[in-house]
């Protein structure tokens, strides 16, 4: 059964050869052009729809569902180019997987393993670079940078981070966790490409800078929150401060990471410690505003098992334990020509399993 049936209907922006950009929804392995519906849907990006707000999102989804059920006008995915579906305003990246935070500490800071002091008290994050957010399929040029004292060279430890991204529709500040669904339209998959050697040399004490700003890839299909089933978030200890409560919904999104043609990991999003509602509440709690098209990512999704980690830094223990791909070759970090694809499925609100598409990228020298 298709994971892109009538219960899913993720939105994207596509074009045909020499054609203009149009909004469509994915149905099976086809795209249904929504421009004929007019209004917010007759645009070259999702931004007007994102801006319109929850009542409009619900009404639009109802109309789209009705429309696709009645139309035979479907375009095979193989005949279209998919574009960045919305104009990215600001981009924020969190650090909300306890397992990931522990693994990275252990690997990069063996002298002080464990969680940073604030980690269980607030969702730690940093502000990233929205201008280099690219759509799935965009080739990723290996960055050069300072990788050690006196050494400027191509990164030798190019890595991925498998994450879930949340797309803000309605602007706001001091957003309460209970208002999450009024502001957030839907989710995408994110690969936060990371140059670990650049990162290790530059990051103290202000955090990631050039190690992560060269490219961040997102999947072309924005799955509306309405399409996703919600689940109970993990228990939090200590109990967070009031402005981070109630925690809000969790989502049982199951990611999969393919390195060339080998499935190397299946990170479980349900294991994340901080919820997307808490992240948004924290991000805006000091009066900072979010805008239409803001993207905030969950942080690397890593579960407790060795094959549930969302980065190759963790998978190969910083290169010390290479992984074997199905062609017999060994990998520590990304080689030129390597392709990484992150895909995901989740229980849908309609009771069936839905797909979140995929985010893929190939490394260029
Ligand atoms: O712990 C560190 O020093 C670094 C952590 C990361 O690189 C992760 C990051 O970008 C946030 C995340 O994706 O969880
Ligand atoms: Ca990240
Ligand atoms: Mg990035």
Minimum-distance ligand 1 atom for the alpha carbon of 207: 3
Parallel, antiparallel, or unpaired for β 91-94 and 295-297? parallel
Q: Would you say residue 1 has pLDDT above 70? A: no
CA of 143 to the centre of ligand 3 (A): 12
Tokens matching residue 77: 């995915």
User: What's residue 249's pLDDT?
Assistant: 98
In a domain, 257, yes or no: yes
**52 and 140 share one domain:** no
Ligand 1 pocket: which of 91, 100, 190, 215 to mutate (most atoms <8 Å of CB)? 100
Boundary of a domain, candidates 83, 114, 146: 83
In a domain, 103, yes or no: yes
- With a 6 Å cutoff on the Cβ, whether 129 touches ligand 1 is no
Indicate the number of domains in the chain: 2
Minimum-distance ligand 1 atom for the alpha carbon of 163: 13
Using CA atoms, how far apart are residues 156 and 139, in angstroms rounded to an integer? 17
Boundary of a domain, candidates 83, 107, 129: 83
Using CA atoms, how far apart are residues 338 and 340, in angstroms rounded to an integer? 7
Domain residues for the domain of 137 are 91-364
Please say whether the beta carbons of 313 and 322 come within 8 A: no
Is 307 a known ligand-binding residue?
no
Boundary of a domain, candidates 35, 66, 83: 83
Mean pLDDT across 103-117: 92
Active site residue 127: no
Eight-class DSSP state of 38 = -
**238 and 261 share one domain:** yes
CATH number at residue 158: 3.90.850.10
In a domain, 3, yes or no: no
**170 and 37 share one domain:** no
In a domain, 4, yes or no: no
Q: Would you say residue 26 has pLDDT above 80? A: yes
User: What's residue 162's pLDDT?
Assistant: 99
When the pLDDT of each residue in the chain is averaged and rounded to a whole number, the result is: 97
User: What's residue 72's pLDDT?
Assistant: 85
**206 and 323 share one domain:** yes
| Interface TM-score (ipTM) > 0.90 | yes
- With a 6 Å cutoff on the Cβ, whether 98 touches ligand 1 is no
**17 and 138 share one domain:** no
**64 and 118 share one domain:** no
Using CA atoms, how far apart are residues 299 and 92, in angstroms rounded to an integer? 9
Burial class of 37 by CB neighbour count within 10 A (0 to 12, 13 to 18, 19+) = middle
Is 212 a known ligand-binding residue?
yes
pTM for the predicted model, two decimal places: 0.98
**262 and 237 share one domain:** yes
Output the residue whose Cα is nearest ligand 1's atom 12. Answer: 299
Using CA atoms, how far apart are residues 250 and 312, in angstroms rounded to an integer? 25
CATH number at residue 32: 2.30.30.230
Please say whether the beta carbons of 94 and 298 come within 8 A: yes
User: What's residue 113's pLDDT?
Assistant: 78
**111 and 65 share one domain:** no
Query: Please, where are the H alpha helices in 140-249?
Result: 180-183, 196-202
**106 and 199 share one domain:** yes
Please say whether the beta carbons of 254 and 344 come within 8 A: yes
Split at pLDDT 50, 70, 90, the class of 112 is: confident
**299 and 183 share one domain:** yes
**73 and 96 share one domain:** no
- With a 6 Å cutoff on the Cβ, whether 108 touches ligand 1 is yes
- All residues at 6 or more sequence positions from 334 whose CB lies less than 8 Å from its CB, including other chains: 142, 158, 159, 160, 312, 340, 363
Split at pLDDT 50, 70, 90, the class of 243 is: very high
Q: How far is CA 24 from CA 14, 42, 62, 75, in A?
A: 7, 10, 15, 10
In a domain, 264, yes or no: yes
């Amino acid at each position: 059964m298709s994971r892109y049936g009538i219960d899913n209907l993720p939105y994207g922006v596509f074009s045909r050869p020499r054609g203009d950009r149009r909004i469509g929804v994915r149905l099976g392995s086809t795209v249904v052009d929504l421009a004929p519906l007019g209004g917010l849907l007759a645009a070259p990006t999702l931004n007007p729809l994102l801006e319109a707000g929850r009542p409009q999102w619900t009404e639009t989804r109802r109309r789209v569902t009705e429309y696709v059920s009645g139309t035979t006008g479907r375009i095979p995915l193989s005949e279209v180019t998919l574009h960045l579906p919305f104009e990215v305003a600001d981009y924020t990246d969190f650090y909300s997987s306890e397992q990931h935070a522990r693994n990275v500490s252990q690997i990069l800071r063996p002298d002080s393993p464990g969680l940073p002091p604030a980690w269980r008290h607030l969702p730690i994050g940093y502000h990233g670079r929205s201008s280099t957010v690219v759509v799935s399929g965009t080739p990723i040029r290996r960055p050069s940078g300072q990788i050690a004292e006196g050494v400027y060279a191509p990164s030798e430890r190019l890595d991925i981070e498998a994450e879930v991204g949340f797309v803000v529709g309605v602007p706001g500040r001091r957003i309460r966790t209970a208002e999450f669904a009024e502001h957030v339209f839907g989710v995408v998959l994110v690969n936060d490409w990371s140059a670990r050697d650049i990162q290790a040399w530059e990051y103290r004490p202000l955090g990631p800078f050039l190690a992560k700003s060269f490219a961040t890839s997102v999947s072309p299909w924005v799955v509306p929150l309405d399409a996703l089933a919600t689940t109970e978030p993990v228990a939090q200890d200590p109990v967070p401060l009031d402005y981070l409560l109630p925690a809000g919904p969790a989502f049982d999104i199951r990611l999969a990471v393919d390195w060339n043609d080998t499935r190397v990991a299946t990170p479980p999003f349900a294991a994340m410690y901080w919820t997307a509602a808490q992240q948004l509440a924290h991000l805006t709690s000091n009066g900072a505003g979010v805008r239409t098209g803001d993207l905030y990512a969950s942080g690397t999704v890593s579960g407790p098992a060795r094959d549930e980690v969302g980065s190759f830094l963790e998978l190969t223990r910083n290169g010390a334990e290479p992984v074997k791909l199905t062609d017999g070759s060994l990998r520590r970090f990304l080689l030129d020509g390597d392709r990484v694809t992150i895909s995901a499925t989740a229980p849908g609100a309609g009771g069936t399993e839905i797909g979140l598409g995929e985010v893929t990228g190939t490394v260029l020298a």
